[in-house]
Every structure is written in C-alpha cells, then in structure tokens.
C-alpha cells in the first residue's frame, strides 16, 4: 500500500475512488483493482494493518490495566459507544470518541462508529444470512417503502461468489425463506439447543432452530490459504482483531487481496467532505478530502466513485455534495436523500433456565449462536404489525459458586471442584423496522465538526409497529420456551436505542423509479451515473437478516457492472 503527498492533478487522478474501507469498501477495492482499475481507497481513520495493529488480541485478562473495564474518567468521552455491548478496554482503540464527530439527536439515536482501516469489519458479529424473495418482495406486498428493483435470482450468484471468498460456516437447512449458501462445515449445537430445536419442530410447522451462519473458517479452502488466513481458533475474542484471519474482515481478506494487484492506493486520515460534480460533463469528477492531520483540503479525481462510508456518513457526504445542478445534495431531485432511514430493533430479550441434561455441558467455545429465522408474516399477513423478526438462541452452563473471601490453596481447591449451575437460556430479537419518510438524517445549517463539515441531525425513532413486534416476540418466544420445559422465564425490554445494533440502513435507497429512489438496480445513482452506493445506505428495506453479506454481494455485483460500463465508454 502506497502512502504519499500528492501535489499534482496527475498524481491525484485514478480510475476509481472508494470512500471507506469497511466491509463494503473492502469488497469494492478488491473487485475494482482485480479488474485492472487504479483505485484510491479513502479512510477517515488511522491505518490498521492485519495482525500488526491488533494491540489487544493476545492479551490475557490480567494484562489489562483495569481488567477489561473502562474507567469512568475515560468512559465519559465515549458516551455513545459505551452503550454498546462491544465496549470494553480491549476494543476501545477501535471505537470513536464523541468529540471526533459530534451529531445532533433530534430523536434518541446511537450511532456506533469505528474509524480505522477496516472500519467495523473488525467489530461485527459475523452472522451472515442470505435474503430470499420473501424479503425483496416485502415492500411490494404490504405497500410500505418502495419496491426493490432486484430479486433473489439477481443476487444469488453474487452471494455464492462472496461466500466462497469470505468463508462462511453453516448448514444446508432447506428453508425457502432463508436460502442455503456455499458453506464450510457447521458449528455444533449444544445438547439443550438440539432439545429446543426438536421441541420447536414437533410443535410448529413453520418455525425452525438452526445453527447460525457465520463468517468463520471452520475448514480452510485453497482460496483462504491464498489470503494467508487460517482456521478459526474459537477464541471468541474476535472484536480485538484476529491474528489468524479466522473470521472475515477487510483487514485480513479483501484489502490485502487488492494490495497484491499493485493497483490500490490506500490513504488513511482522509475525511471525505463531498463529491465534486461537473455540470458541463454531467457527472462526478472526484472527491474533496480534509486531511485529518493537517486540515488541508485536497481534491482527488476519478472516472467512477464508490460510496461506502457507512450508512449515515454516506448520506452526509451526498447531502454535503451540493452544486448549482443539485442544491440539495448530489442526485437529490426529489427530496429522497436522507429519508427512509431504518434499522434493526434489538430491544427484545428473553432469558430462562433449564434443569434437564445436568450431566452435560458445552464443549469449549463457539464463535456462533443458534438462530431462529423469521416466522411471522412470511407467507401471509397474520399479525397486527408489519414484517417480522428473527432471534438468536443460546444455551450454556456456568459455575454455581463464588468465593469472594478466599485466597491461596483454599481458593484453588474450590475452583477445581466447582459445580455447574442449571442451563442458562437466552434469546435476542432482530426486528425489521419500516422505512418512513419522516425518519431522516440531514445536515445542520450552523453547527460543524472540527473538519468544517456540517454536523448530522438524526431523527429516526421507534414507532407503534416496533412496539407491537416486541410484544409478539415476548409472547411467541415465551410460549416456545415453556413448551421446551424452560423455567424462570424473564421477558426483557432493554430499551436499546435505534442505531445501537449497528445495522443502520437507507437514505440512498435503491428502486425502480427515480422519483422515489436514489439508485437503480445496479446501485448506480439515477442522476449521476458514475457514482455507486453499495453500503447500508442503499437498502430499500432491512429484512431481519444480518445485512453485511448482502452488502458484500451488492458491492461485487455493482463493481462488475461499473467496470463493464466504463470499458464500454458509457460512464
């Protein structure tokens, strides 16, 4: 990867520019360079090299100054990130301080960010499920949001393409609403998870419990070894960065692959201000960047631009890309930009205990969970709320005793003879929210950040549909738990804010009609043909699946199309 001071237009000109180096940006870099394009990758944060810069990945618990807990004096600078489950002393260096990029919450909204090379691909939960036509057709069926311009058949070969490269573990489950993929050997369920699976299958015709599909290498294939990646070691501290490359990240996979082509220039500390639009040419010609260290404004030029800055930042960049032709933001002729923001709601939790199978426990660690695919409103509208939810499911046992006042030989003796308690059971929901016209991000007219860029205003609240969905989750999972013989069932509303799941989507949505969408079926802007958006901002609806696999597939597909259009002189 080359880093240099650029002082001439020629040196600042590339075939392609990719804004962002996270999951979708890494894929854009890989695909564009692999197809021969000289590509500039812009990352607003610092550089993080695979293995070298995973500073906490090999630390033992006692090697952390505060044993993993973030002191209050430091925590006060991370009020947004501190509300996220990933927040700890071991991940602090991958999360963003509040003063790095302040924003206005017109409605409470947690914007979790990771500004470094690799972005949040170092921190994600690694669950990877395909969408089906039940998801792509959702908006058309119930009339909320605009219709997707693609269907499953359009994305299926690209799902296969990215799955083989990334490495996805899973099982062939044969579910029409959760298509099977190109899977490595699956993880094993615990005995209680298998018990729950059996009970659910005996009592319901359209509900299933499966092992999760996750971006972990359980059996390396030649393509993974070529990337320099190895088998997952089941350490379950993935959020620190994996030195083995056992899980997929931009740092371990797509960016090094792009680097090997010799076509990639990676520029960290590059805060994108806006996209440059040439009114005479009728297309974008480049990107304005604020150097994070010097605060100098620099312009880079390219024939095509991929916007992969993460959902809210991608919206912010386009909103700030104003011109005489587009006074309200690039391509924003119909006031669609920044609207119809949606997310996954994860407020729902349920916990319980199980007194059976006390002669067994789990066998080591597993960087995966069991999964209950969406079963509500799939084949028909059957509830008083729209769309549905998926759920995780786990069962494990923990030591029953605690010895707070013991030291030395007595403590060692008791630790070696600990008894395990009952099985602890738990589920979390992942609910689909409905994109709404009034759910928006926009730029503040006065307040700016330290780079001179307008601050973002977020107004993306929960609604009645989300409340009804939460109630149904508790009712249905509670019933399933009771049928399985679980006890001490607790229904929990975590009050987790919109955005806190990391799955923010929309604002630059795909669609068939330029009057109601920003992008066409190829993630290409309707009104600025050489700009493509393939991160979460492009999503027309959210479904219930974890979204990252779909971002990867959309990106690879869009890059293939863009290069073909470029070579045909149509861009």
Per-residue confidence (pLDDT) for residue 150, from 0 to 100? 98
Alpha-carbon distance of 373 to 85, in angstroms, equals: 22
305 backbone dihedrals φ, ψ, rounded to 5° = -130, 130
Chain centroid, CA 303 distance in Å:
28
Nearest-5° Cα angle at 301, 299 to 306: 105
**Pick from 521, 433, 560, 570: nearest CA to 144:** 433
157: nearest Cα among 562, 522, 564, 557:
557
d(CA 314, CA 273): 11
pLDDT of res. 398:
83
CB 220 within 8 A of CB 169: no
Give SS3 for 441.
strand
- Give residue 479's pLDDT: 98
Q: What is the pLDDT of residue 256?
A: 98
- Provide block-wise average pLDDT over 10 residues at a time, the chain (571 residues): 63 97 98 98 98 96 93 94 91 95 96 96 97 96 91 98 98 98 97 98 97 98 98 96 98 98 98 98 98 97 98 98 98 97 96 94 91 97 96 90 70 73 95 97 97 98 97 98 98 93 94 97 98 98 98 98 96 91
The first and second tokens of residue 240, run together, are 């620190």
- Is the C-alpha dihedral spanning 506, 206, 368, 474 positive or negative? positive
Q: Which residue has the tokens 């390396």?
A: 220
Do the beta carbons of residue 301 and residue 281 sit within 8 Å?
Answer: no
Entry pTM: 0.96
Three-state DSSP string of 493-531:
ECCCCCCCCCCCEEECCECCCCCCCCECCCCEECCEEEE
- SS3 state at 272: strand
Q: Under a CB-based contact definition with an 8 Å cutoff, are residues 116 and 96 in contact?
A: no
d(CA 169, CA 218) in angstroms, rounded, equals: 6
Place of tokens 């960065």: 241
pLDDT value of residue 7? 65
Residue 5: its pLDDT value, please? 55
Tokens encoding 183: 């899977």
């Amino acid at each position: 990867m080359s880093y240099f001071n650029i002082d001439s237009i020629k040196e600042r000109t590339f075939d392609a520019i990719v804004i962002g180096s996270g999951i979708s940006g890494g894929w854009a870099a890989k695909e564009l360079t692999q197809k021969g394009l000289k590509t500039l990758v812009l990352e607003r944060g610092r550089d993080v090299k695979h293995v070298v810069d995973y500073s906490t990945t090999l630390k033992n618990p006692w090697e952390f100054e505060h044993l993993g807990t973030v002191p209050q004096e430091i925590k006060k600078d991370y009020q947004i990130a501190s509300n996220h489950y990933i927040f700890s002393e071991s991940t602090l260096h991958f999360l963003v301080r509040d003063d790095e990029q302040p924003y206005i919450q017109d409605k409470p909204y947690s914007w979790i960010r990771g500004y470094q090379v690799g972005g949040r691909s170092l921190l994600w939960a690694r669950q990877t499920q395909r969408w089906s036509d039940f998801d792509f057709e959702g908006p058309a069926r119930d009339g909320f949001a605009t219709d997707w311009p693609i269907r499953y058949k359009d994305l299926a070969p690209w799902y296969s393409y990215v799955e083989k490269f990334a490495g996805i573990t899973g099982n062939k489950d044969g579910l029409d609403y959760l298509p099977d993929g190109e899977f490595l050997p699956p993880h094993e369920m615990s005995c209680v998870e298998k018990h729950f699976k059996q009970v659910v299958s005996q009592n319901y015709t359209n509900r299933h419990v499966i092992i999760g599909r996750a971006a972990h290498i359980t059996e390396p294939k030649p393509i993974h070894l070529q990337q320099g990646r190895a088998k997952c070691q089941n350490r379950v501290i993935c959020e620190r960065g994996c030195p083995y490359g056992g899980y997929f990240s931009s740092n371990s996979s797509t960016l090094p692959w792009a680097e090997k082509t010799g076509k990639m220039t990676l520029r960290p500390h590059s805060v994108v201000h806006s996209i440059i639009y040439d009114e005479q040419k009728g297309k974008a010609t480049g990107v304005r960047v604020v150097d994070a260290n010097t605060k100098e404004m620099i312009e880079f030029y390219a024939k095509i631009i991929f916007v992969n800055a993460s959902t809210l930042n991608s919206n912010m960049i386009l909103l700030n890309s104003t011109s005489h032709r587009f006074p309200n933001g690039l391509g924003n002729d119909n006031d669609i930009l920044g609207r119809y923001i949606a997310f996954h709601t994860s407020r729902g939790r349920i916990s319980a205990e199980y007194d059976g199978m006390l002669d067994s426990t789990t066998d080591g660690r597993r960087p995966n969970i069991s999964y209950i695919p969406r079963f509500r409103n799939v084949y028909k509208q059957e509830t008083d709320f729209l769309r549905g939810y998926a759920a995780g499911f786990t069962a494990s046992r923990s030591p029953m005793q605690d010895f707070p006042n013991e030291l030395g030989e007595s403590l060692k003796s008791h630790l070696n003879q600990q008894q395990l308690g009952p099985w602890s059971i738990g589920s979390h929901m992942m609910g689909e929210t409905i994109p709404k016209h009034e759910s928006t991000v926009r730029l503040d007219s006065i307040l700016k950040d330290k780079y001179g860029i307008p601050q973002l205003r977020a107004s993306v609240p929960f609604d009645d549909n989300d409340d009804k969905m939460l109630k149904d989750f508790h009712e249905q999972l509670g019933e399933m738990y009771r049928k399985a013989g679980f006890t001490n069932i607790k229904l929990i509303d975590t009050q987790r804010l919109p955005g806190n799941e990391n799955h923010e989507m929309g604002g630059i949505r795909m669609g068939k009609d330029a009057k109601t969408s920003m992008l066409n079926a190829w993630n290409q802007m309707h009104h600025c043909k050489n700009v493509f958006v393939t991160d979460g901002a492009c999503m027309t609806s959210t479904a219930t699946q974890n979204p990252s696999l779909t971002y990867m597939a959309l990106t690879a597909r869009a890059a293939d199309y863009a290069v073909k259009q470029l070579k045909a002189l149509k861009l």
